[in-house]
Amino acid sequence: MENSIKEDKLLRGGQFLVKETKAEDVFTPEDFTEEQKMMRDSVKEFVDREIWPKKEEFEKKNYALTEEVMGKAGELGFLGVAVPEEYDGLGMGFVSTMLVCDYISGATGSIATAFGAHTGIGTLPILLYGNEEQRKKYIPKLATGEWFGAYCLTEPGAGSDANSGKTKAELTDDGKNYKINGQKMWISNAGFASVFIVFARIQDDKNITGFIVEYDKENPNGITFGEEEKKLGIHASSTRQVFFNDTVVSAENMLSERGNGFKIAMNALNVGRIKLAAASLEAQRRVTDVAVKYANDRVQFKTPIAKFGAIKSKLAEMATSAWVGEAASYRAAKNIEDRINLRLEAGASHSDAELKTFEEYAIECSILKVACSEDVQNCSDEGIQVLGGMGFSADTPMESAWRDARIARIYEGTNEINRMLAVGMLIKKAMKGHVDLLGPAQAVGEELTGIPSMDKPDFNELFAEEKDMIKKLKKVFLMVAGRAVQKFGQDLEEHQQLLMAASDILIEAYMAESGILRAEKNVKRFGEDSQKEQIAMARLYLYHAVDIVNQKAKEGIASFAEGDEQRMMLMGLKRFTKYDRMPNVVELRNTIAEKLTSENKYCF
């Protein structure tokens, strides 16, 4: 197994906050191997042939088309990228898994959802938690698209509170089977799946248990379905209620152990979250692409609208969010891939290596899910605006892109839940000593009360100011979250608005840093002249991040600190969010927009 990275250089989950990352140690999309580029191009070619031209059909709720496209994706191996070769998959690493998910998802949210539900939450629980017989029986069929998978966790009364489901599994008298009774809701792929991962409670267990339940139309075994849900977007993604009426499942189909279902459900979601971030990227690229072409063509006041500053600003912001999303998603993906490989080298089984790693990087998975799902929404919203009335028309791809993007903030854990999880998990890691937050938080506390350092970075060095700013943004998080933990202890989880504000600071620090590191690495290898637009995007994103951090930190500080303490923290915040050299944001946006319009496409 090839392993270019040494353990000491590999950032552990959550460690980005307290450990400086060097540009040469991050993976960026410019690092894709030839094999990965070939994979990307073949997925793109598939989407341009099978999905993009049929967008209208997807909007007309052609569920059969979704099933057909999924079948073809299976034939080409796209459903089995992450599946080991011994189970008829391609056995590629996590970066390639993200890559396929990214490029297959951009043309319609219907395929993005069907693909995500099948390859992620529909397949992974068996791959990661199934025993050898279960894997041998189901994974090859799922990897090749012979069967499709669905994941039944949500119920009418159990959404975000996923462990509260009422579906029951009762052992039959002979001890050989379980009978499942209950109602599941919002189940993606329900209309065409043959394998359902079902979570049910045995007796009065504290935690639910996972089961693999087969569905065969000829022998429905007590499984019935509600009508297709009428949804705002992802029109051709099948979403139904699933009812289990004395559904008999062999006891051998229990996943892992009794009571382990909540853990399975959550770990499958960790992977789903980072893949959802990837699934938001190509949509942003395509939307930006359409907007750039339209802006170049559309003439008003005898001028192509692309020449107007108001439009340039939008195009630049759209491209920037896509580009930074790529930087952060693939940075985390490679950390995950490297960590899995290190665990495999140390003798862990494939499933163990993956499981432990996804658990370790759950913070980054939540950060990316929130950031990229909100970026794709903003990007498609501005895309509509660039097209004006035509953007509002269902005849252009903006309208469905906007509707499709909306679901990403809801499923795989709502963005509120993910925001709180990100901070909560980080604090837990600190308490367990996995990430040293205490030392750095104390240092920030001392800095606040000490004499401010007059040391300045060497501004002749590219990104000196920006890298210094990233360090300061991390200090803001440590200052706000550190003090909040001291103040509220275990009760912090009751202070949700404070947690949400802290989470936004964390998210912005990770995303902005990823953008700066990508640009820096590219400047080092390709030269500054060729990277001026990337430099501009990294700076533009950071500029917004600083504003958000400032606003959220103020909100947080004012919510729990008073008098001298509040004044001290606000002064610290001012220092930590102050630019020595304020960037010229208008010029940055113009640089980015001019490149986009001259290339007439999303060109980064």
Ligand X SMILES: Cc1cc2nc3c(=O)[nH]c(=O)nc-3n(C[C@H](O)[C@H](O)[C@H](O)COP(=O)(O)OP(=O)(O)OC[C@H]3O[C@@H](n4cnc5c(N)ncnc54)[C@H](O)[C@@H]3O)c2cc1C
Q: Which residues are catalytic?
A: 412
Does 146 interact with ligand X (rule: CB under 6 A)?
Answer: no
Alpha carbon 323 to chain centroid distance? 14
Part in contact with ligand X (CB under 6 A); list of ranges 138-146, 182-190, 424-432, 471-479? 182-190
Q: What is the CA radius of gyration of the chain?
A: 24
Q: Which of 84, 159, 226, 583 binds ligand X (CB under 6 A)?
A: 159
Please work out the total of residues on this chain that contact ligand X, with binding judged by CB under 6 A: 19
Rounded to a whole number of angstroms, the minimum distance from the CB of residue 409 to ligand X is: 9
22-61 mask for ligand X (x: CB under 6 A)? ----------------------------------------
Element (H, E) at 152: strand 149-152
Cα angle vertex 464, ends 458, 469, to 5°?
Answer: 125
Rounded to a whole number of angstroms, the minimum distance from the CB of residue 226 to ligand X is: 13
Could you report how far apart the first and last alpha carbons of the chain are, in Å?
A: 31
Rounded to a whole number of angstroms, the minimum distance from the CB of residue 121 to ligand X is: 6
Does 160 interact with ligand X (rule: CB under 6 A)?
Answer: yes
Phi, psi of 28 (to 5 degrees): -130, 165
- Phi-psi category of 256—alpha, beta or left, where left has phi over 0 and alpha has psi -120 to 50? left
Does 239 interact with ligand X (rule: CB under 6 A)?
Answer: yes
Cα–Cα dist 496/518, whole Å: 33
Angle between helices 350-360 and 309-345 (to 10 degrees): 140
Does 62 interact with ligand X (rule: CB under 6 A)?
Answer: no
- Phi-psi category of 140—alpha, beta or left, where left has phi over 0 and alpha has psi -120 to 50? alpha
Does residue 5 sit in helix, strand or coil?
coil
Rounded to a whole number of angstroms, the minimum distance from the CB of residue 157 to ligand X is: 8
Tell me whether residue 125 or residue 440 sits nearer to ligand X (CB atom). Answer: 125
Does 304 interact with ligand X (rule: CB under 6 A)?
Answer: no
Tell me whether residue 156 or residue 452 sits nearer to ligand X (CB atom). Answer: 156
Tell me whether residue 160 or residue 559 sits nearer to ligand X (CB atom). Answer: 160
Cα–Cα dist 476/467, whole Å: 14
Phi, psi of 225 (to 5 degrees): -125, 150
109-128 mask for ligand X (x: CB under 6 A)? --------x-----------
Does 154 interact with ligand X (rule: CB under 6 A)?
Answer: yes
Q: Which of 187, 376, 384, 481 binds ligand X (CB under 6 A)?
A: 187
> Among all chains, which residue has been given the structure tokens 């252009």?
396
Does 410 interact with ligand X (rule: CB under 6 A)?
Answer: yes
- Phi-psi category of 11—alpha, beta or left, where left has phi over 0 and alpha has psi -120 to 50? beta
Tell me whether residue 18 or residue 150 sits nearer to ligand X (CB atom). Answer: 150
Does 226 interact with ligand X (rule: CB under 6 A)?
Answer: no
Does residue 19 sit in helix, strand or coil?
coil
Kindly list the residues in this chain that would bind ligand X in the complex (CB under 6 A).
117, 151-154, 159-160, 186-188, 231, 239, 407, 410-411, 414, 416-417, 496
